[in-house]
């Protein structure tokens, strides 16, 4: 019977992962594992998030018209990302946005792969619970009030 099960039985789906930034698939064993605090602490990350096609109109209106609705939407965008509780897998293409120890982040990613996504690094969780209130507020202010400015004012 085991021969028939091997031939005709259901195949176990292999574990798959996607870059948390780009949503592109990651090959097994690749990528970097970051915490939400590490991700949202990157000004480069916010400059890119706030100037994506889906968010650019809010950024333009925030800077050129002082539109309060656009500023509130930028605030909601910040909260959406800052409150993520799961670790972030980041591809080789996007790790340059983050000022982290790449070797350590790669090692953590290997543990994550070995545990099929169930490994959670220290200091994981919503950034508001991990960062100090001052750190969190500084990043929040940049993300909402400043991110993407140079792309609008050029």
Q: pLDDT band at 69, cuts 50/70/90?
A: very high
Spans of all domains in the chain: 30-153
pLDDT digits (tens, 9 = 90+) for 88-119: 999 999 999 999 999 999 999 999 999 999 99
Residue 14, pLDDT score: 79
Q: What angle do CA 102, 106, 109 make, to 5 degrees?
A: 140
Residue 7, pLDDT score: 56
Task: Compute the distance between CA of residue 20 and CA of residue 90 in angstroms, rounded to an integer.
Answer: 6
Burial (0-12, 13-18, 19+ Cβ within 10 Å), 68: exposed
Tokens matching residue 136: 């969190």
Tokens matching residue 57: 């109109």
DSSP codes of every residue in 98-147: S-S-HHHHHHHHHHHHHTTT----TT-S-HHHHS-HHHHHHHHHIIIIIT
pTM of the model: 0.87
pLDDT digits (tens, 9 = 90+) for 5-44: 555 555 556 788 999 999 999 999 999 999 999 999 999 9
């Amino acid at each position: 019977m085991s021969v028939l099960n091997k031939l005709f039985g259901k195949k176990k789906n292999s574990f798959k992962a996607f870059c948390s930034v780009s949503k592109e698939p990651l090959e097994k064993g690749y990528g970097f594992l970051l915490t939400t605090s590490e991700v949202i602490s990157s000004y480069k990350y916010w400059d890119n998030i706030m100037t994506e096609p889906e968010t650019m109109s809010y950024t333009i209106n925030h800077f050129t018209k002082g539109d309060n609705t656009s500023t509130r939407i930028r605030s909601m965008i910040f909260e959406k990302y800052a409150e993520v509780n799961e670790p972030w897998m980041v591809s080789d293409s996007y790790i340059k946005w983050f000022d982290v120890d790449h070797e350590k982040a790669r090692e953590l990613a290997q543990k994550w792969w070995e545990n099929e996504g169930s490994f959670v690094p220290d200091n994981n969780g919503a950034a508001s619970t991990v960062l100090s209130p001052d750190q969190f507020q500084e990043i929040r202010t940049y993300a909402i009030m400043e991110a993407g400015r140079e792309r609008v004012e050029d």
